[in-house]
Amino acid sequence: MTKEANNERKAKILEGLEKAYEKMLDFKRKNNSELVVIRENKIVKIKP
Residue 47's pLDDT is 86
Residue 33's pLDDT is 94
- How many other C-beta atoms lie within 10 A of the C-beta of residue 17? 10
Residue 43's pLDDT is 96
For residue 47, what is the DSSP state? -
Residue 48's pLDDT is 76
Q: What is the greatest pairwise CA distance in the chain?
A: 45
| Residues, the chain | 48
pLDDT in tens, 13-39: 999 999 999 999 999 999 999 999 999
Residue 44's pLDDT is 95
Residue 1's pLDDT is 76
Residue 25's pLDDT is 92
Domain extents in the chain: 3-46
